[in-house]
Amino acid sequence: MTDTKTTTRQVNVTSKTSVTVLFAGDSGDGMQLTGTQFANTVAVYGSDLNTFPNFPSEIRAPAGTISGVSGFQMQFGSTAVYTPGAKFDVLIAMNAAALKSNIDKLHHGGIIITDTDGFDAKNLKLSGYGEGNSPLEDGSLQDYTLFEIPVVSLTRAALADTGLSVKNIDRCKNMFILGILYWLYSLPIDTTVKTLQTKFKNKADIAEANIKAVQAGYNFGDETDMFAQFGRFEVGPAAMKKGTYRRVTGNEAAAIGLAAASKKAGLKLFLGSYPITPATEILQALANMKKWGVKTFQAEDEIAGVLSSIGASYGGALAATSTSGPGLALKSEALGLAVIMELPLVVMNVQRGGPSTGLPTKPEQSDLFIAMYGRHGDAPMPVIAAYSPVDCFYAAYEAAKIAVEHMTPVICLTDGYLAFSSEPMLIPSPDSLLEVKPVFAKPRNEGDDPYLPYKRNQLGVREWAVPGTKGLEHRVGGLEKANETGNVSHDPLNHQLMTDLRMEKVARIADCIPLQTIDNGAEKGDLLVLGWGSTYGAIKIAVDRALKAGHSVAHAHLRYLNPFPKNLGEILRNYKKVLIPENNCGQLLLMIRDQFLIEPVAFNKVEGLPFNEMEIEAKITDIVKEL
């Protein structure tokens, strides 16, 4: 890969194994686009990466204020990257507020690239530094490498001859910064050039201006003494598996996973849903998949969302509903109906901080209990969880497989962290995906045995009888039904039997799912770190470091939360202690203690932020010291 413009000066190039960058600016500054561009370039170059956007929680927060800061964080590396990084090496601050709200997470000695035009009197005032108190001038940044660049002015100069309005020119300032970053990390600008050409296909002048700005930024890096003296960096490609990749966020991956499962099963996908942060993109992505026969129904509320899906499922579609905590609460009654009707249904629940509206844009893992127990009556439902953005694809896919093959609603848990994070996904070949096999009841003719809607196979699973099929006319509903015939029954012993059968059916899914494996570390030892969901990356790195430090630790990560894999008890007993880090107050811990009668060590964090590897590493060190 060659640079579009080769450097004219001899500058030092330092090799790095991984770098974390935060692009921060006002929500109008285009930081998401800038970050995404940088991520795409890095991905095409072959480094591994993980990104995480940080939107302001208010849609129209006042420009220049702390609450208006929008950030895009990413880590990229020549080794496997599991998280968007805990602290940054580089902070791009387009204004004073962006600097103020993020400086505490910049590594000591890290690089700050600022747009000095975002540090005028007004910005200083709005950010809370106060007029005349510029952090760029008061020496408070002396522990960092500070690049002060008048980005707006330079962009205006570079684009002066484009004939565009000042307003349109100023919109290109983010591309100028992006150009500088490409130079700094020895990356080519051509991926971005191509994207800009497609994105502004019908606005050639805008495309050209943006491209000019990237190039100008790049040249600025190249020609400016301050950068030349500082040098450039290089992050090599990672040892990624060979193959074709795309970049996906967790929500995109979940949508693709559902659609892929429907294709593989030969079913049509139906999604009944209602918009809610951070799950909305699943509905949006599927609304764009009509080419694959996907039908989406934006219902009047979450209740109608799930019930329309139950109707579609009764009609023989692969039905799903997507939501987050408050919506899951509303769906609770309907999920009981799906349980007793024994119809397949996938519930994608993208967790956020609760209770109530809580922290809508912040991730948490606190819906495990509502997923497990949040229904009236004895209403067991399988629960599975995704551990990474890409894994949202596989988890959603598997949720659909379990739902269809076991005729049951399934809850698939992800969270706001996975939903918005992105990473490269090795595109699987269709053949490599597990089969999804629905079992439909066959048409009957006169003289055949009567159809028994609640007759089961050896796994306790009933057949799917789809309207339109001759001879299978039957009525199902929420009232308890007599075994096999499905007729309404209030018989006490029948209710006991049916309750037991529904419980057993879900329990026996354990016969069909893979055994639990150890992700990292030895099969026996002092400490097992047991995680589920989005804590994967942080635990992975922490355990890796603890192993390198010579500790006897291991990491196991749960995909199946109900039922647990059959060998989980055995695994847990192979370690002196079990540590369970969770972004909740100990929900998995209670389930583990309840089922295996062991006393794990809790590590809980509900700050609306994911764990970082340092926290977990420190906890591990504390525990092993005492063993």
Partner 1 sequence: MTDTLTTLTAKDFTSNQEPKWCAGCGDHAVLQQLKSAMADLNLKTEEVVVVSGIGCSSRLPYYVATYGVHGIHGRALPVASGLKAARPELNVWVATGDGDALSIGGNHYIHTIRRNPDLNVILLNNEIYGLTKGQYSPTSKIGQRTVTSPNGLIDYPINTIALTLGAGGTFVARVTDRDGKFMREIFKRGARHRGTSLIEIYQNCPIFNDNAFSAFTDRERKADTTLYVEHGQPLVFGKESDKGIRLDGFKPVVVNLNDASVSKNDLWIHDEGDFNKANILSRFFDNPNASEDFPPRPFGIFYVEDRFTYEDALTAQVEKAQENGEGTLEALLAGNSTWTIK
* Residues at the interface with partner 1 (CB under 8 A): 40, 43-44, 46, 237, 240-248, 256, 259-260, 263-264, 268, 270, 272, 289-293, 295, 297, 299-301, 303-305, 307-312, 314-317, 319, 333-334, 337, 341, 427-430, 467-479, 487-488
How near is the Cβ of 260 to partner 1 at its closest, in Å?
6
Long-range CB pairs of 225-232, under 8 A, 24+ apart, other chains included: 226/147, 227/11, 227/147, 227/180, 227/183, 227/184, 228/9, 228/11, 230/145, 231/11, 231/12, 231/13, 231/14, 232/7, 232/11, 232/12, 232/13, 232/14, 232/183, 232/184, 232/185, 232/186
In 299-402, the DSSP E strands lie at 318-323, 345-351, 383-385
CA-based nearest residue to 45, from 207, 190, 216: 190
CB of 40 to partner 1, least distance (A): 8
Q: Are 71 and 134 in contact (CB under 8 A)?
A: no
Quick one: angle between helices 173-184 and 204-223, nearest 10?
40
Name which of 473 and 504 has its Cβ closer to partner 1: 473
Taking the least distance from each CB to partner 1, the nearer of 243 and 550 is 243
193/303 with CB nearer partner 1: 303
Gap between the Cα atoms of 553 and 526, Å rounded: 6
Of 355 and 447, nearer to partner 1 (C-beta) is: 447
In contact, 320 and 398? CB cutoff 8 Å: no
Instruction: Note whether 115 and 177 are within 8 A (CB).
Output: yes
d(CA 41, CA 126): 34
Which CB, 376 or 625, lies closer to partner 1? 376
* Residue (293 or 586) nearer to partner 1, CB: 293
123, 95 contact by CB (below 8 A) = yes
> Measured between alpha carbons, how far is 134 from 412 in angstroms, rounded to an integer?
48
Nearer of residues 138 and 473 to partner 1, judged by Cβ: 473
Residues in a beta bridge with 234: 15
Residue closer to partner 1 (CB basis): 177 or 341: 341
Minimum CB separation of residue 460 from partner 1 in Å reads 22
- E strand or H helix at 195: helix 190-199
User: At its nearest, how many Å lie between partner 1 and the CB of residue 203?
Assistant: 20
- Closer CB to partner 1, residue 470 or residue 573? 470
Residue 181: which residues within 8 A CB-CB, separation 6 or more? 21, 38, 90, 92, 113, 187, 217
**In terms of CB distance, is 9 or 290 closer to partner 1?**
290
Amino acid identity of 187?
L
Least CB distance to partner 1 at residue 426 (A): 8
Q: How far is the CB of 382 from partner 1 (least distance, A)?
A: 21
Structure tokens at 85: 């990084």
Residues 6+ apart with CB under 8 A from 336: 375, 376, 377, 379, 478
Instruction: List all residues 6 or more positions away from 614 whose beta carbon is below 8 Å from its beta carbon.
Output: 86, 542
Q: Are 205 and 55 in contact (CB under 8 A)?
A: no
Minimum Å gap between C-beta 188 and partner 1 is 13
Give the contacts of 165 (CB within 8 A, at least 6 positions apart). Answer: none
Between 454 and 560, CB nearer to partner 1: 454
Closest CB to partner 1 among residues 14, 487: 487
To 10 degrees, the CA torsion angle through 105, 109, 110, 114? 100
Least distance in angstroms from the C-beta of 406 to partner 1: 20
Minimum distance between the CB of residue 487 and partner 1, rounded to whole angstroms?
6
**For residues 96 and 334, which CB has a smaller minimum distance to partner 1 in the complex?**
334
Give the separation between CA 316 and CA 439, rounded to whole angstroms.
Answer: 11
Answer yes or no: are the C-beta atoms of 179 and 209 closer than 8 Å.
Answer: no
Least Cβ distance, residue 306 to partner 1 (angstroms): 8
Q: Please state, as a whole number, how many other Cβ atoms lie within 10 Å of the Cβ of residue 383.
A: 24
Taking a C-beta distance cutoff of 8 angstroms, is the pair 44, 191 a contact?
yes
Nearer to partner 1, 379 or 624 (CB): 379
Buried b (16+ CB within 10 A) or exposed e, 119-139: beeebbbbbebeeeebbbeee
CB of 107 to partner 1, least distance (A): 29
| Chain-centroid distance, C-alpha 242 | 23
Q: Which residue lies nearer to partner 1 by CB, 132 or 428? A: 428
One-letter amino acid of 264 = K
Query: How would you class 548 by CB atoms within 10 Å of its CB: exposed for 0-12, middle for 13-18, buried for 19 or more?
Result: exposed
C-alpha Rg value of the chain to the nearest Å: 27
